[in-house]
Amino acid sequence: MRRPILAANWKMHKTTGEAVAFAAAFVPMVVDAAGVDIAIAPPFTALDRLGRALAGSNVSLAAQNANPEQKGAFTGEIAPGMLADLGCRYAIVGHSERRSFYGESNALVANKAAALFAAGIVPIVCVGESLEEREAGRTHEVVGSQLDGSLAHVPVARAAELVVAYEPIWAIGTGRTATPEMAQEVHAFVRRRLRERFGAAGDSIRIQYGGSVKPDNVDDLMAEPDIDGALVGGASLDPAAFSRIVRFETK
Ligand code: PGA
């Protein structure tokens, strides 16, 4: 049985004051949410203050990115150990916005994921196809090669802890969600690939769906057998909406 993981990706939203106000509203709303892992990835600037506001709660702190090096002359970058120092339990890597706007390759994502594991942080590795790739029938090819490349250095002994997020690019921030059936079809493919790569640990790896997850579609998505959680952008900015997502209901 995989424990669902619901994570907020705030992207470039919220000042420190807004992040702390969110925590004050959100933490009481999810205090009795049992059997799920909950995480929030604020901008780097809010990690410290949000981490303090979440201390002692059932909501974990996450980062949106990390540099693969542990220290050195890398102006503007943040090392995994610095994130661990602030109490981050997870870090998102390979988000499609970073792949497309900042040219991140699978090789770079693989190095980030390995460096995070080494620092005691669980990477949330994102993969997903563009609309053009889907329409050309290349979804499995694209997602498969992203998985192979981005997970190249995951230590097999730690693989069960890994989180993968399948986020079709055409569904991110567009209000156009994959249907539960479309998402499940790709999640099942991802699961097979993870089993081939990591053996039995592939059954323990949690695979989140991301792309316009909202209170009104989360229940149907979470009912699918290989959808183990959600990575939520827009709807995670509102405490009531994100708490409803955390409290998804499956029949
Ligand atoms: P969205 O973003 O929920 O706003 O579509 C998801 C993501 O990019 O992680």
Of the two residues 114 and 172, the one the predictor is more confident about is 114
- pLDDT reported for residue 184: 98
Half-sphere exposure of 89 (CA within 13 A, CB side): 15
- pLDDT reported for residue 1: 81
- pLDDT reported for residue 74: 98
Is 172 touching ligand 1 by the criterion CB < 6 Å?
Answer: yes
Q: Tell me the pLDDT of the chain averaged across its residues.
A: 97
pLDDT tens for residues 15-73?
A: 999 999 999 999 999 999 999 999 999 999 999 999 999 999 999 999 999 999 999 99
Q: From atom 6 of ligand 1, which residue's Cα is the shortest distance away? A: 233
Cβ–Cβ < 8 Å for 63, 41:
yes
- Closest ligand 1 atom to residue 9 Cα is 9
Token digits of residue 204: 């323990």
Which residues lie below 8 Å from residue 28, measured CB to CB, with a gap of 6+? Answer: none
Asked if residue 177 has pLDDT above 90, the reply is: no
Alpha-carbon gap, residue 122 to 158, rounded angstroms: 9
Residue 145's pLDDT band, with cuts at 50, 70 and 90, is very high
Asked if residue 251 has pLDDT above 80, the reply is: no
What is the pTM for the complete model shown? 0.97
Is 241 touching ligand 1 by the criterion CB < 6 Å?
Answer: no
For residue 167, indicate whether it is catalytic: yes
pLDDT tens for residues 214-242?
A: 999 999 999 999 999 999 999 999 999 99
